[in-house]
Amino acid sequence: MNCLFYRLQSATIDQLIDTTCVGYPVPEVSRPVSMPHCPHVPYSRSRSQRSWRLQLGWVFLVAIFQAAPSLGGQQDRPRERVELLDGTQHLGRLDVSRAPPVFQAAGLKRPIPIDQIASVHVERDDRQKDSQAQHAMLVLAARQRIAGRLLRLDQKTAFVELADGAKRSLPRQALLAAEQHRARDRETAQSNGALPAAIRLEILQDGVRLRDGSQIYGKLETLNSQQVELYGIAGKTRLALDQIAAVYLRRERPRPQVSTGVIVRLWFEATGEWTSEPSRWNSLIVRLVASDGQTWLVDHPDLGRLKIARSEFRRLDVLHVGRRIVIAPHFHHLGNEMRPWFDVAPPEGTQLQVRFELHQPISTPVQLSVTVVELEGESHGARFENLVRTGWLQTQVRLNGQVVDYLNRHLKRSTAEPHRLLIPLPEGLLKQGPNTLEFSQTPQDGRPGEFDDCGLFDIALQMTDKP
């Protein structure tokens, strides 16, 4: 090919047409051609009117085949799409190797800072991977989940194994459920009607679900590689571990979790199957540490430092840049009716109190971050727009006894998908020491027993302290 490019640079178009390479048959006709000599490739001084078209086509084919690997690599490489806080979108690539991270957008000279980003999405064709690699599932608070299985459990600690074989220990109160089925086994059981389609969390008691679909509730004392011990109405029950399909742990009051830096919810695929359905993605709320281009290095408050392959990355939601204190990560169901599709089906009432303590004074502006599900909005076209605007079917926010706002005002429309709301808190309301945050609902006009059934989770305070 070097000889070919040498001749392309040295010859005119007419000379190129009259030139051929080794091994190509050329009819002899009398037409002299003056060409610079290429020592590696002999050439003919004449050719027919027909063969020059074939020879030119051969030149273009060679060029296309040389460019094919690089073109193919660019085509297969997934594109990352950023959505900014103002709604604009760009294509490019997220650079986590810099501190703080930035998004290198195509066509823009300057990178986009992370604090201007709402989310980053990967655009690629869904494809199936080896389902033998699918793993069991661990469910954490705030709708977090990661591929792994529960190895051992005592009164204070849960010992787990992640999909990459790493073994970790975490506080028992951090783990909500462990799905011991691999994905392939679970789908088979679901098709036979032995398992429900989703994990339902328990509030007041532990429980296990057997492989035949039956469930036993009580107090889970221990779990090891041999058996599970559960105290229930019938007394102590011992079950072999291979009989267990899932383990549920009662919800306990969590300890506040403080993180400082770039805090994101990272959505990734680690169960062996690509899918465009977000409900089947894994997600963790983590602090970004670094990236070598192939691997995410992140810190999780319970699981510690994790490595996540960038090839599994599906979406990144920027939660905050600064200091974030999670005061109520669990899912809470407010309202008066059953919602079987909620994480917690039975309602917990129409009020929720969150008590927490701050160990140092607050000197910067604070936002309240709340993720809501099926909350009624008050924007134009919403189902109960007029009622909500006039004070009915609201979910109000109080901090230390003072009304701050109501959640519905910050939501455009009711949606089954989680939506994160940011509410500025008045200066001076938060104090060093104990504080009380309260959510209370108002009934429907003329129907005092009817309230808006909604879900709240991942309740956090966000300060503007820079990492």
Which of 56, 76, 96 lies at the terminal end of a domain, its last residue?
76
Residue 55 has pLDDT above 70, yes or no: no
Quick one: 347 and 422 in the same domain?
yes
Boundary residue ending a domain (76, 106, 140)? 76
Tell me whether residue 191 is in a domain. yes
Does 393 fall in a domain? yes
Give the closest residue to 105 by CA, choosing from 81, 122, 124, 87. Answer: 81
Q: What is the pLDDT of residues 237-273, one digit of tens each?
A: 899 988 888 999 998 888 889 999 999 999 987 554 4
How many angstroms separate the CA atoms of 40 and 44, rounded?
13
- Tell me, yes or no, whether 24 lies in a domain: yes
pLDDT digits (tens, 9 = 90+) for 178-237: 987 654 444 444 444 433 434 555 577 899 989 888 888 999 988 998 899 999 888 898
Residues 50 and 94 in one domain: no
Backbone region of residue 322 per phi and psi (left: phi > 0; alpha: psi in -120 to 50; beta: other values):
left
H or E segment to which residue 62 belongs: helix 51-76
Residues 233, 112: one domain? Answer: no
- Measured between its terminal Cα atoms, the distance across the chain in Å is 53
* Closest among 270, 281, 305 to 163, alpha carbons compared: 270
Could you tell me the pLDDT band of residue 311, with boundaries at 50, 70 and 90?
confident
Q: What is the pLDDT of residues 73-124, one digit of tens each?
A: 444 456 799 999 999 999 999 988 888 899 999 989 999 999 999 999 987 6
Residues 159 and 97 in one domain: no
Residue 13 above 80 pLDDT?
no
Q: 6 pLDDT exceeds 50?
A: no
Q: Is 232 within a domain? A: yes
Q: Are 218 and 205 in contact (CB under 8 A)?
A: yes
Instruction: Give yes or no for a contact between 401 and 370, defined as CB atoms under 8 angstroms apart.
Output: no
Under DSSP, the state recorded for 273 is B
Q: What is the pLDDT of residues 138-151, one digit of tens each?
A: 999 999 999 898 99
* Closest to 354 measured CA to CA, from 335, 338, 322, 330: 330
How far is CA 9 from its chain centroid?
A: 52
Q: Are 110 and 92 in contact (CB under 8 A)?
A: no
Cβ neighbourhood burial of 420 (10 Å; 0-12, 13-18, 19+): middle
Structure tokens at 183: 């994905």
**Same structural domain for residues 99 and 71?**
no
Asked if residue 107 and residue 61 are part of one domain, the reply reads no
Residue 290 located in a structural domain = no
Q: Are residues 141 and 114 in the same domain?
A: no
Q: What is the mean pLDDT of residues 346-352?
A: 94
pTM, full prediction = 0.77
Answer for the pair 265, 319: CB distance below 8 angstroms, yes or no.
yes
Shared-domain flag, residues 434 and 405: yes
* Together in a domain, 96 and 143: no
d(C-alpha 245, C-alpha 158), whole Å: 17
Residue span of the structural domain in which 244 resides: 131-248
423 shares a domain with 442: yes
Domain end point (choices 123, 144, 179): 123
- At residue 72, does pLDDT exceed 50? no
Q: Is residue 179 part of a domain?
A: yes
Per residue in 433-449, pLDDT (tens digit) is 999 999 999 999 888 89
Position 8 scores a pLDDT of 41
Q: What is the pLDDT of residue 110?
A: 93
Verify that 409 and 354 share a domain, yes or no: yes
Domain check: are 50 and 162 in the same one? Answer: no
Q: Which contiguous run of DSSP H or E holds residue 179?
A: strand 175-179
Please write the tens of the pLDDT for every residue from 375-391.
Answer: 998 876 667 788 888 88
Residue 118: the pLDDT is 94
Number of domains within the chain: 4
Please report whether residue 284 resides in a domain.
Answer: no
Within-domain flag for 295: no
In this prediction, residue 298 carries a pLDDT of 94
The CATH number given to whatever domain includes residue 362 is: 2.60.120
pLDDT of 417-430, one tens digit each? 899 999 999 998 99
